[in-house]
A and B are shown apart, each in its own frame.
Chain A
Amino acid sequence: ELKVEQNPLFLSMQEGKNYTIYCNYSTTSDRLYWYRQDPGKSLESLFVLLSNGAVKQEGRLMASLDTKARLSTLHITAAVHDLSATYFCAGRMIKAAGNKLTFGGGTRVLVKP
C-alpha cells in the first residue's frame, strides 16, 4: 500500500523569501501530482510529474521528482500573499487499479507581509 507523507504540516512564510515543501512516498509510484486547495474550495491541479528527474515550473512554483529517493519537492520562490493555501501531493502506485491516488496530509501555507 502506498503511503504519502508531507512536511511540514504548516509553513508560515515571509513575502519575498524562498521555501520548500517535501513529499515522501513509501513505495514505487509512477506519477506524482501536486494540488492546491484554497479554504472552502476544491482542489486545483498544479503539476503532474511522470519520471525521475522531472521538473515543472509555473510562476513562482517549481516541482521536482526523485523516484530513487521517493521524494518530490515543491519550491516556492519569492513568496507572495496569493500563494497562501493548502498544498497536497498525491502518488499513484504502479499498476494500481484504475487511477487511484493516495494523498498526503497537506501543507498549510500562510504568507505574511
Chain B
Amino acid sequence: EAGVAQSPRYKIIEKRQSVAFWCNPISGHATLYWYQQILGQGPKLLIQFQNNGVVDDSQLPKDRFSAERLKGVDSTLKIQPAKLEDSAVYLCASSPKQGRTDTQYFGPGTRLTVL
C-alpha cells in the first residue's frame, strides 16, 4: 500500500514570497490533516479535512495560510506571504474513515526555510 505522498520535499524562499505544498493521502482515506512541526517541537495541527469539508481549522493563521482539498483526495496548503517564523516542516497525514483507532499515517513532510 502506497503511503502519504508530499511534494516538494524541500523549499527555500524569501520572506513575503508565496509557497504551496501538495499532499496525496493514502488511497481511500477520508480524513486529511496538515501539521506544522517547528524544529525541536511536536507537530501542531493546522487544519483537518473530512472528505473535502473542513472539520477543524482553529489553529490555521488564516491571514496568510490557506488550504483546500478538491474532490476529497489531494490537498494543497499555501502560505502567502511567508514570514521567517513559518520556517518548519509541514507534515500531511491521513486516516481512514472507519477504524477504531483512527491512527494517522504521516507523509515525509516538506521542509520550508524562509530567509
Contacts and interface: CB of A to CB of B under 8 A. Distances in A.
Give chain B's interface residue range (CB within 8 Å of chain A). 20 to 34
B14 interface: no
Interface stretch (A12-20, A59-67, A73-81, A98-106): A98-106
A28 interface: no
Contact of A97 (B55, B102, B103): B55
Given A99-B31, A99-B48, A45 B105 contact: yes
Contacts, number: 57
Contacts of A97: 48, 55-56
Nearest to B59: A100
B50 interface: yes
A106 B89 CA distance: 15
A68 interface: no
16 contacts: A31-B101, A31-B102, A33-B104, A42-B107, A42-B108, A48-B101, A48-B103, A50-B100, A90-B42, A98-B48, A98-B50, A99-B95, A99-B102, A104-B42, A105-B41, A105-B42
Interface of B: 31, 40-45, 48, 50, 55-56, 91, 93, 95, 100-109
Interface of A: 4, 31, 33, 35, 41-45, 48, 50, 88, 90, 92, 97-106
